[in-house]
Amino acid sequence: MTTQQSSTAPVKSQNGLAIASLITGIVGVVFAFLFAIIGLALGIVSVALGAVARRNGNRSGQATAGLVLGVVAIVGAIVNMVIAYNMLT
């Protein structure tokens, strides 16, 4: 007799929106201090993706971290733009 054993591990579902929010948030924070306009745009995208991911029932740390990093990117980009404006005028 041969017995077949199932060696499939349980697959943990990953939310693509949460991961995308986290990645755009990290890149947005970096660009917020290098190129403020790009950092601002990425921060807005990160906040939107994080909010949609959390609304769809995924209250994972990735969605929350993406949301927070997006807000940090937006604030950092605005501060960077204000400082640059005051220095150049």
pLDDT in tens, 29-60: 999 999 999 999 999 999 999 999 988 877 78
Residue 11 has pLDDT above 50, yes or no: no
Q: What does DSSP assign to residue 59?
A: -
- Tally of structural domains, the chain: 1
- Residue 14's pLDDT is 58
Residue 32 lies in domain: 16-88
Residue 37 lies in a domain: yes
| 58 or 83, higher pLDDT | 83
Burial of 48 (C-beta count, 10 Å sphere; 0-12/13-18/19+): middle
- Residue 74's pLDDT is 97
Cβ–Cβ < 8 Å for 45, 52: no
Model pTM score:
0.81
Where helices occur in the chain by DSSP H, the ranges are 16-34, 36-55, 61-88
pLDDT classification of 3: cutoffs 50, 70, 90 = low
Residue 43 lies in a domain: yes
Residue 11 lies in a domain: no
Q: Of the candidates 85, 66, 84, which has an alpha carbon nearest to the alpha carbon of residue 74?
A: 66
Q: What are phi and psi of 4, to 5 degrees?
A: -100, 130
Cβ–Cβ < 8 Å for 63, 39: no
